[in-house]
Structure 1
Amino acid sequence: MKKFLTKERTVPRWIVLLIDLAITSWCFGFSYFIVKQFQFPNILRGHFIVYTGAYCTVSVLVFFFMRIHTGLIRYSNTQDMFRIFSAILISSLIYLVVLNVMITPVFNIQSLNIPAVLMINFFIAFSFLTMFRITVKGVYCYMKKVAAVHRKKVLIYGSDNNAILVKQALEACNNDSFIIAGFIGHDKNKVNSYIEQKRVYHIANLAALKQKLRVDKLVLMNTQLGVKDKKAVLERCLRLGLQVLTVPPADQWMSGKLKTNQIQDLKIEDLLQREPIVIDTCRISKELVGKRVLITGAAGSIGSEIARQVLNYDPEMVILCDQAESPLHEIQLEVEENFTKEQIRVFIADINNFNRMYYMFNHYRPEIIFHAAAYKHVPMMEMNPMEAVMTNVMGTKNIADLAVLFDAKKFVMVSTDKAVNPTNVMGATKRIAEVYIQSLNNYEEKVLELVNPEQKFYKKKTLNDNKTRFVTTRFGNVLGSSGSVIPRFRNQIQQGKAVTVTHPDITRYFMTIPEAVELVLEAGSVGEGGEIFVFDMGEPVKIIDLARNMIKLAGMEPDIDIPILVTGLRPGEKLYEELLNEDEKTCPTHHKKIKIAKVASYPYTKITEDIAILGRITQNNNELDVVKKMKEIVPEFISKNSRFEDLDQSYESVKEEVTH
């Protein structure tokens, strides 16, 4: 019985319509009896069946077209009551017309008492149809309450229309895992009032309410609060051990109804959110509209988001270049669903393959280039320095040189904060790439030489004729990128394993992927050439605190339900990242979140020679020689927690000998 009453739908809609018809028929007959003073012989001789049949026919048609039977009765509200009121009124008016136009002339009968019958019937029918719905709803609520012994109690944040929508939606989606205990918010004027039979509490009393009502969770609509206020509420919940659930804005509900799978646990990304960035879309649009845009690393976290955002500016063509087949296919399917297929070209290739890159440039002639292709995982690159050099340095040089050769208008390189005072191979390769990109804006040098490894291709171009502006963007970690700390922590928590942190004091800067890409597009649109743009990453986050918060967000206690294990720094890993080194300063730009780093410039000839030597050493597969050359090119590259630390000691010894 309990399961029957609490199912999502227990009877078909046509049965509800029949029940409404039966109630209406009985009410009309009873009203007729009242008017006739229950004189049954007179009633039967007075065409009672004709009157009742005609009224039922009119009523069922009106009820059907006004759809008063289509909603779930257990969730009836004042709107449903108004629809019933309107349906009975309209039925009565139509019935009077039918009575005078059709029934009276056809049957040659008088209908003097019918208006009185309709008036009495109006009140009786409305009362009984409403009572039927209230009874079903009451029984349903009682059965749900009986079944709620093991359900979690939740509070809904807010006391406005959005909060009421959330309450109604949660009740309608028939979620058996929780029961609504009330509303909570900051509005003191509404405290202790009732909304839909639920009390409104003040957020300051949340700790006491947790104990008194035994509340386990708080439900919040994503758009109810600004970033700052939302963060304050979330942090309060975390301190109290309250799990936070989020629901999307009402305009994102499926067919106007909230689905169970749209009620989600709060994500750590929500806790790390900052105020939305305001970018100059007009400036970016002028830069991209009608242009041919190349995105390398298009299958990666940053590259794929660049593709999504660039396509919003209606370019002539977007070339998605990557060597990862499956992820590239996924982003292709995604953007082709949302944008014109004719705008999109997919080019699968390795940026190290100069011939393939030359073919791509020659075939598509890109005007704007976003270079996001790179190896990024520090420990892996520490074990594979040759691959890091080939992709992050040589691959970048290939794309940059071809940009000059084919007169691309702008080249925007995506770099990293790990390039600042690098302590690992990955960071050092990115710094070398930065240096080379900057050098291409030095017009004192005469000739850019392009030579492929097999010596089958050779071209020269005078740098004085260079039309390409080279811009570098530098920022820290992005939230949720593949292989990063947050997805790893999330998987460990879901599996009930210990969350592994490399050091209790390690910190990192974080930025959402869309936010980072917005700033990349903004910086790219204003760059004149030679700049390294540094993004405001906010305050650094302690990774162990991040782990604790993620465990709490999952409804568990750190070090009790889920242990936190300190494993030690990985090869090449820093305790903290820097966006500038000690000798670098910044200049402000038009955007408060973007600054220009003042960095030392390197002559094009010198860095080109160094990269050529580095490339030859890489071909010999001697890791120590490769890293040693990298340290010569980037003197601030000091290895940490790495097998290459001995090279720094040898270098220092040589320096001391030379000094003495």
Structure 2
Amino acid sequence: MGNVFKIKELRYIPRWVVFFIDISIIFVSIWISYLFLKSLKAKVNFSEYQDKKIFVVIVVNVLFMLLFKTYAGIVRHSTFFDFFKIVWSSGSTLLVLLGLNFISELVLGKSVYLYPVIFLFFFVSTFLMFFFRMIIKRSFKMVMGVNNVPSKVRIAVVGVDNESVSLANAIIHSPRHPYRLRGFITARSDSKKAMLLGHKIYNKEEFLESDDLNKQFDAVLIKGIMAKPEMEEWTALALDKGLKVLKAPVVNEIKEGGIVEDIRPLQIEDLLDRAPIKIENEEIRNRHFKKNILVTGGAGSIGSEIVRQVAQLDASLIVIVDQAESPLHELKLELLERFPNQNFKFVLADILNLYRIEKLFDEYKFSIVYHAAAYKHVPLIEDNPPEAIFVNIGGTRNLALLSKQYNVSRFVMVSTDKAVNPTNVMGASKRTAELFVQSLQNSSGNTTKFITTRFGNVLGSNGSVIPHFRKQIEKGGPVTITHPDIIRYFMTIPEACELVLQAGTMGNGGEIYVFDMGKPIKILDLAKRMIKLSGYTPDVDIKIEFIGLRPGEKLYEELLTDNSTTVPTHHEKIMISKDQLMEFADIELLCKQIMKSAIKKDNLEVVKILKIIVPEFISNNSEFEILDRVPKELAY
């Protein structure tokens, strides 16, 4: 067994060994050819020079082996490309020998070699060289599989097209990776008895009817370019059979490790991901070209992606502001490596610090401000209302007023669907920020275009439901859901940021842009699908528990208020929400009052003023519900 492990550690047979074996095969082929000749009792021409004739055959063959490098390939990864190199080498030798015969017949009247012998030598030597490589290749596969079969993931590749075959070949030729090809699955019905790369092709009907597929396969492998409906279908089929689902990379996303290195478990994001919105790149590039750009909350999920996309638009300078030290440092390391030619400035600062932020506006004269800094976690904000006032309202007010003061061309704020008919302090604070930003559009002396974008939940963002569920599943459960009927809209981080950039280009000022996010998703269904994708059975391997709605949380969320109307834009996925507005003087007075209450840490007073600013704010499952039972008036 020790010898087996030593062979496993051998990466390839040295080239000189392959070269020596090929020369030995030439000797064997010559011997076989002359045995055949002897059996026919044929008369040999120039028999007195037999040794010299054999020497010429060997030298010519070796020269062509060196020329075509037949020995250079890794034998255990031999393909038909290696076979063709052998054919070229042996074929060239054959042509030289035929040439010698032709010259000999012209000069001496008879051939040096008998024609049957040289043709037989060509076929025998070609066959033996390629057969040797196939034997070594098969032997390596068998040895690599000894005592290692249980640890290999047995894979069925979905599809029989060229890309599927390439994936299968990559798996076959990557013995050090934890995958083993066991077959193919296809929707086609004309492949029932066909074999591909030595493995059976199963059609969909066989797959559906079989009850013991988990004895043959551990997982199915889906191509990265597969359309979402087809991916959904095969995923559901595999999960119903108790198989894991793996996803291969798209060709242009393959990293240095190769295709097999980048195979990964299918994520829920792959199934929820929709086609990204198409944006007018040329117009967006013109808006940012050689301009100074400010991104607040730049180390967060949305802010950092905005920075990555803007970094591709040839901006003169991108200033990134965030108060989170470690994330900002990590982002700095990433951006300096990815975009070495882009000029960045990383600023550790709180947007509530007016003097610190104003210094940036004065120094860099920004053309566009992307405001993504905010507190967003509903339960935390419900317990700490003043903090939402400081950051979501006070910080936004600082940035918006400075943008107006320093004649910033465009101010684009990231908002949330929780600002629509809010049931919590976080949503109400963001709605107040929306109202303040909109009010500045028609204020005296303003030249800035103030634009708001409103999102649903963002897949994979910090603190979102999917990473939370993933951690719970990794720990063995339970997966906790607040309510069995709760639903949410979802979009990807790139989609969200493309919307921000698009809105910044489209806006004339004062708009709230909303995105057509398709149908909302039931969180219970999301959890079940994630558990299955992880290879477990919901409520058997991983329990699902309902813990009740959190303070301020509601079952569903909206992107538009009841009193609003929508206006279409030139982009089919983007609409403008026509919400009720407030005059700048009115919202400015209320913002100053609520900031004073926040400084005093008077939670009830803070929420009471929020309900004055946002009349549709009705608390849900919260201690502030008491304020909805009394007239909404202030006593000063």
Q: Give me the TM-score of the superposition, normalised by structure 1.
A: 0.87
- Which residue of structure 2 aligns with residue 558 of structure 1? 538
- Aligned mates of 1:124, 1:377 — CA distance in 2: 75
Deviation at 1:333, TM superposition (A): 2.3
* In 2: Cα distance, 1:625 partner to 1:180 partner: 66
Alignment correspondent of 1:595: 575
Spell out, residue by residue over 1:299-341, the C-alpha distance to the aligned partner (whole angstroms, 9 max, x if none).
1110111111112222222111112222122222222223244
User: Offset of 1:11 from its aligned partner?
Assistant: 3.0
**Are 2:341 and 1:305 equivalent residues in the alignment?**
no
> Which deviates more from structure 2 when the two are superposed, residues 231-240 or residues 544-553?
231-240
In the other structure, the counterpart of 1:89 is 91
Distance 2:177 2:285 in 1: 49
Matched residue, 1:12: 14
Indicate how the Cα distance of structure 1 residues 216 and 130 shifts in structure 2: closer, same or farther if over 3 A, else same: same
SS in 2 for 1:275: coil
Cα deviation, 1:329-359, whole Å, max 9, x if unaligned, reads: 2222222223244422222211111111111
Indicate the residue corresponding to 1:80 in structure 2.
82
- Code of the residue aligned with 2:129 in structure 1: it is L
Equivalences for 1:289-304 in 2 at 5 Å?
289-304=289-304
Alignment correspondent of 2:29: 27
Q: Indicate if the aligned counterparts of 1:589 and 1:596 stay in contact, CA closer than 8 A.
A: yes
Corresponding residue number in structure 2 for 1:321? 321
| Equivalent residue number for residue 514 of structure 1 | 494
Could you say what secondary structure the match of 1:491 adopts?
helix
Match for residue 159 of structure 1? Answer: 160
CA drift of 1:140 comes to: 4.4
1:648 to 600, 617, 628: 628
**How far apart are residue 411 of structure 1 and its match?**
0.6
Check conservation: 1:321, 1:348, Cα contact below 8 A: yes
| 2:100 and 2:112 in contact (8 A); partners too | no
1:486 to 458, 461, 466: 466
CA contact (8 A) 1:29 1:52 kept: no
Correspondence for 1:220: 222
Alignment CA distance shift 1:349-1:626 (3 Å):
same
2:499 aligned with 1:497: no
Shift of 1:505: 1.3
- The total of aligned residue pairs comes to 627
Partner of 1:582: 562
Mean Cα deviation higher: 537-546 or 411-420: 537-546
Distance 1:495 1:199 in 2: 37
- Cα deviation for residue 3 of structure 1 reads 4.4
Shift of 1:112: 1.5
Shift of 1:624: 2.1
Moved more, 395-404 or 74-83: 74-83
User: Which amino acid in the other structure matches residue 437 of structure 1?
Assistant: V
Letter of the 2:337 counterpart: E
For residues 349-392 of structure 1, the C-alpha deviation after alignment (integer angstroms, 9 at most, x for no partner) is 11111111111111111101111111111111122211111111
Give CA deviations for 1:152-186 in whole Å, capped at 9, x if unaligned.
54321111101110111111111675543322222
Residue in structure 1 matched with residue 107 of structure 2 by the alignment: none
Secondary structure in structure 1 of the residue aligned to 2:218: strand
Secondary structure of the structure 2 residue equivalent to 1:188: coil
Q: Which amino acid aligns with 2:189?
A: K
Counterparts of 1:440 and 1:78, CA distance in 2: 70
**2:535 counterpart letter in structure 1:** G
Relative distance call for 1:12 and 1:335 in structure 2 (3 A) is: same
The 3 A distance-change label for structure 1 pair 29 and 263 is same
* Aligned equivalent of 1:242: 243
Q: Which amino acid aligns with 1:561?
A: D
1:23-49 deviation digits (Å, cap 9, x = unpaired): 22332454456557899xx99985666
User: Which amino acid in structure 2 is aligned with residue 21 of structure 1?
Assistant: I
1:472-528 deviation digits (Å, cap 9, x = unpaired): 000111100111111111112122231111111111111010111112211221110
The letter of the residue matching 1:90 is S
Q: Which amino acid aligns with 1:312?
A: Q
Paired residues for 1:132-531 under 5 Å: 132-141=132-141, 150=150, 152-174=153-175, 177-209=178-210, 211=212, 214-223=216-225, 225-254=226-255, 257-259=258-260, 261-443=261-443, 463-464=444-445, 466-531=446-511
Structure 1 residue aligned with 2:605: 625
CA distance, structure 2, for counterparts of residue 94 and residue 300 of structure 1: 70
Q: CA deviation at 1:91?
A: 4.3
Deviation at 1:239, TM superposition (A): 3.3
Q: CA deviation at 1:431?
A: 0.6
Query: 1:450 — aligned with what?
Result: none
Unpaired segments ≥5 residues, structure 2:
104-109
Alpha-carbon distance between aligned partners in 2 of 1:46 and 1:527, rounded to the nearest angstrom: 96
C-alpha distance in 2 between matches for 1:256 and 1:51: 50
CA distances 1:256-313 after superposition (whole Å, capped 9, x unpaired): 9433x31211000011122342222222222222222111111111011111111222
Give yes or no for contact 2:12–2:76 (8 Å, CA) kept in 1: no
Contact 2:171 2:180 in 1 (8 A): no
Partner Cα separation in structure 1 for residue 257 and residue 38 of structure 2: 48
What are the Cα deviations for residues 218-246 of structure 1, in whole angstroms up to 9, with x where unaligned? 111111x2222222322333333331111
Tell me the distance in 2 between the aligned counterparts of 1:554 and 1:53. Answer: 64
Does the residue aligned with 1:166 lie in a helix, a strand or coil?
helix
Which AA in structure 2 matches 1:121?
F
Q: Could you give the per-residue CA deviations for residues 181-224 of structure 1, whole angstroms, max 9, x where no partner exists? A: 3222223344543322333333244222453564332111111x
How has the CA–CA distance of structure 1 residues 617 and 255 changed in structure 2, closer, same or farther, with 3 Å as cutoff? closer
Aligned counterparts, 1:121-140, within 5 A: 121-140=121-140
Q: Which moved more, 1:211-220 or 1:481-490?
A: 211-220
Distance 1:576 1:337, change over 3 A: same
Question: Could you tell me which amino acid in structure 2 is paired with residue 293 of structure 1?
Answer: I
Q: Distance in 2 between matches of 1:650 and 1:175?
A: 70
CA apart distance, 1:432: 0.6
> What is the distance in 2 between the residues matched to 1:539 and 1:573?
20
Mapped to 2, the partners of 1:649 and 1:13 lie a distance apart of: 87
Letter in 2 for 1:161: N
Return the letter of the residue paired with 1:184: I
Residues of 1 paired with 2:373 and 2:346: CA distance? 15
Contact 2:141 / 2:175 at 8 angstroms: preserved in 1? no
Partners in 1 of 2:335 and 2:390 — Cα distance? 30
Q: 1:564 to 1:72 in 2, by over 3 A?
A: farther
**What stretches of structure 1 of length at least 5 have no aligned partner?**
102-109, 444-462, 656-660
Partner SS, residue 596 of structure 2: helix
- The reply on whether 1:613 has 2:586 as its aligned counterpart is no
Looking at structure 1, the residues matched to 210 and 23 of structure 2 have their Cα atoms a distance apart, in angstroms, of 47
Inter-partner Cα distance in structure 2 for 1:6 and 1:208: 39
User: Structure 2: how far apart are the matches of 1:146 and 1:346?
Assistant: 54
1:255 Cα offset (Å): 5.8
Cα distance in 1 between the residues matched to 2:498 and 2:97 = 64
Distance in structure 1 (CA, Å) of the matches to 2:270 and 2:242: 17
CA distance in 1, matches of 2:620, 2:67: 76
SS of 1:629's equivalent? helix
Asked if the contact 1:35/1:113 (under 8 Å) is kept, the reply is no
Q: 1:112 to 1:320 in 2, by over 3 A?
A: same
- Paired residue secondary structure (1:181): strand
Residues 555-599 of structure 1 deviation map (CA, whole Å, 9 limit, x = unaligned): 110111111121222222211111112112211111111111110
Deviation at 1:98, TM superposition (A): 10
Q: Residue 545 of structure 1 corresponds to which residue in structure 2?
A: 525
Q: 1:555 to 1:401 in 2, by over 3 A?
A: same
Give percent identity, aligned residues only. Answer: 41
